[in-house]
Every structure is written in structure tokens, then in C-alpha cells.
Amino acid sequence: MTKIDNPSCFKADCKFLADVIDRIPDPIFVKDADHRWVLLNDAMVEIMKVDRDEVIGLSDYDLYGKEEADEFWRVDDLVLETGQQIENEEFFTDTMGTRHIISTKKSRYIDCKGDRFIIGTIRDISRRVEAEAKARAHLQQLAHAGRMVSIGELTSSISHSIGQPLSAITLYASGLLENPQQLDKNTQEVLARIQEQGERVKGIIDHLRILLRKGESVREPIEPASYLTHIVGFLRDTLREKAVTIELDYAKSLEEINIDPIQIEQVIINLIQNSIDALTEAQTPSPLIRLSARVSDSSLIILVNDNGPGIPAEHQQDVFEPFYTSKKNGMGIGLSICMSIVENHQGQLKLTPNKTDGCEFILTLPLAHPRA
């Protein structure tokens, strides 16, 4: 250690110390007992984006919003009163409007005259916090994708194992029904029901197979208006049979989307089929489905809307969850499969929230050629 006995040498050392503090890469500050800024090193000036001379003598309320300044004062007071060293996470918005998440360590210093000061050091942890949030979101996406894959595998193996015995059951029933004169009326009726229910389950399994159809996901530029009209054509018979009216509300030609046409067709058919199911089940008078589409910014927005019973507020979060169904014979995987198909297309599938008159799903898909 060097002994300082020459005053001019001591002065030089003060300058030396100030320079050293300025060169410390972490932001450092000192405030007095009235919360006024007394010292800021270069790194502090840099992070606050301020002019040092203008800040000296000001308080946090002169520099920050009330919410941020309130919190700084609360912790400052605690340090000044107790002398306790405090480390906490706080936020502040610099003069350019960027919000920083910082970890601040504050301690108390009492000088030779008995005046109290707060000495603080700061670390900007915005990037780390952002990276952690991104990693968490990514993990959630992975978990979701993983769940979808296992649902896909599970359902395809269930439908595969059920398919064969089911065909056998319906075959036996129709075999017996080929000679109805040997059967009493009651047995005939029961066999007919067995056959009918067997066909139903087969229908459900076929529908599942289509939904879970594997294979390469392709991307083709598709003109939405004629594509949607073509899809509705597949459902004409069902709509007629259930006496449900469908209204188409879109321009004759819309900007192209880049999609796997078979997969997106599954999504739209599933949404319309859900509407048909809801309208039929609730015996809605004048059942109506409206399929509309329009371009907004760089997306195509497709709405599937019906005047059915809607989805109760308490279940609006549940409908996209695998195996959630309100139907006696539902599987509850339609919407979760739709969701994974749409997410694979960088699109979104949402429910219009708090709708009181029926139900509306919003499908958003990116345009093939986004507008500049």
C-alpha cells in the first residue's frame, strides 16, 4: 500500500479513483439521504442514456415514471434506515423509452460527517430474462407438440385395433339378418341396431383416420375462394340431411395462401362439422352456419360462425385440449388436431371470446405473398 502524505498526490489519487470508478464496466451510482443523485459512473450514464451533469442533484421522480420511482424510493429508504444490503430485481425505462430489467445491489455508506448515502451497483438482466422467457415458451411448444404426437399415435393404434373386431361384429349381425324368417321380430330389431351402431363407430374411426392421415406435409399456393367453395361442396349432403343452411361470405377471388390443402381442408371440415353437431344437438331453430373469409394485413382470416348454443364461458379454454368433448359419442380430439395443423402452418386458431349468440372460430393463415 502507498502512504499518501503529500496533499497534491492525494488530489491526484481522488482523480485516479474517479477514473477507476468510471472504467468499471458495471453501472455504479451514489444517492444522498434525500434521494438525490450524487455520482454516476460512465456505465450508469450509458444505461440511463442521460447527460451526467443534468442528472446530478435530481431525484428519481424527475427521471422516471411514478411507479418505477416509488419502488426505488421504497428500497432506498429501507437501506438508509437499516443499513442492510439489499439486492432486488427492478425495472426502469431509459430516456429513449427502452424498458430494462435490472438486478440492483444497494448498500449504505455514512461519511465522516455522519451523512448517509446509498451506493448502488446494477446489472442489466433484460437479455437473460428474455432468453429465459423464450426458453420457457419453447419448452411449452415442445410439450404441446409431443402431446399431439402421442395422441396421434394412440388414436391411430386404438382405431387400428378396434377396426377389425368391429368389422367382424357388423358382419355377423348382417349375416344373421340375411335370413330374417328364422328370427323373431325383437332379435331382428336388436341385430339391426347392432349393425347400425357398428357402422357409426366405423364412421368415427374412418373420420379419425382422415384426421390423422400421415404423410409429408406439402405447401401449395392456393386461391382461397374457390378452395373454400370446393370444401363446402363435400358437406352439401350432410348439411341438407340436417337441414342446416350455410352462407358463404367472401369475395370471388382472394390472395393466395401457401398451405397443405388436404390438412387445412381437414381443419375447415372439422370446424363446420362441429357447428353442424352443435346445431343439431341443440335443435336450434333456423340453424345457420356462416363461412366468411377476408384478407387483413399479411393474413387470410377465415371465420366459421353458427347460431347454435355456443360454448359456455367456463369451457372456452377447454375445447382445444385433447379429449375434451361435450358429446355423448365425441372423441374430443378434433380441435386439438386442428390446432396442431394450423400451428404447423404458422397460423392461429382461436375462439371469438365471450360470444353470447352462437359460436365463432377464427382461423388465421399467412398469405403466400405478404403485402409489403
Give the shortest CB-68-to-Mg ion separation in angstroms.
49
Q: Which stretch binds Mg ion (CB under 5 A): 203-211, 274-282, 298-306, 362-370?
A: 274-282
User: Strands, E, within the chain: which ranges?
Assistant: 28-32, 37-40, 86-93, 99-110, 116-124, 220-222, 245-249, 257-259, 288-296, 299-306, 348-351, 359-366
Among 148, 334, 364, 367, binds ligand ADP (CB under 6 A): 334
Tell me the number of residues near ligand ADP by CB under 6 A.
21
User: Burial of 45 by CB count in 10 Å (0-12 exposed, 13-18 middle, 19+ buried)?
Assistant: middle
Q: Which does 326 bind (CB under 5 to 8 A by kind): ligand ADP, Mg ion, none?
A: ligand ADP
Q: In 314-330, which positions are buried (b, 16+ CB within 10 angstroms) versus exposed (e)?
A: eebeebbebeebeeeee
332 binds ligand ADP (CB under 6 A): yes
Nearest partner of 299 among 224, 365, 362, 361, judged by Cα:
365
334 binds Mg ion (CB under 5 A): yes
Please report, as a single letter, which amino acid is at residue 294. R
60 vs 306, beta carbon nearer Mg ion: 306
62 vs 241, beta carbon nearer ligand ADP: 241
Please report, as a single letter, which amino acid is at residue 132. E
CB 36 within 8 A of CB 57: yes
Q: Which stretch binds Mg ion (CB under 5 A): 96-104, 219-227, 308-316, 327-335?
A: 327-335
244 binds ligand ADP (CB under 6 A): no
40 vs 151, beta carbon nearer ligand ADP: 151
Residue 197, CB half-sphere, CA atoms under 13 Å: how many?
8
**Which spans of this chain sit near ligand ADP (rule: CB under 6 A)?**
270, 274-275, 278, 306, 308-311, 319, 324-327, 330-335, 359
**Which spans of this chain sit near Mg ion (rule: CB under 5 A)?**
274, 334
